[in-house]
Chains A and B, each alone.
Chain A
């Protein structure tokens, strides 16, 4: 039982490059979330999904896209990376009474 996993753990991109962050959970949770964590800003919600095949925008969705083709996976895509997207990205899935279980995070540096 791995819980929530994220790949990759760390990535360096050049401005304009694209990439996909993968999140996987083995707890059969319906809801999944992508957050970004920046110094002094706390955690902010990028996108979320209430179930397979559904996605919705969070607080800071611009520059990101997501897909939830399978219940256990939630992908976050950056179409054209910008330095402002340098951050730590966390995926979470939601369990009992709204408790969110987080993955280990992906540290992204955009040059």
Chain B
């Protein structure tokens, strides 16, 4: 079975704090893709990053960084020096095997950044 778990339902931080959002996945596939999406209060789903299972290099994009570890089946997301505009629901997702290609989403983590 394939599954994505985001154990943190809600996180609240003060602006400029660093925050890490956890994502643990389950899959038996040897080839798979992982994603992070952001859903701000306006409601749209914004693609942030894609990572394939062949590449365990961590990635940094501005204040955002991602730590992919196959050994622990985790794909964690860190925001450095958080800002109020980072307040959103963040979803981790796994691309399922087979022809469907559907995304299996975690339940999401609501991040509130207070000024």
Contact = CB atoms under 8 A, between A and B. Distances in A.
Interface stretch (A19-27, A63-71, A79-87, A95-103): A95-103
Interface in A41-75: 42-43, 45, 48, 50, 56, 58
A43 B44 contact: no
A42 B101 contact: no
Given A42-B107, A97-B52, A104 B43 contact: yes
A107 B52 CA distance: 32
A33 B105 contact: no
B64 interface: no
A100 B47 contact: yes
Interface of B: 33, 35, 37, 43-47, 50, 52, 91, 95, 99-103, 105-108
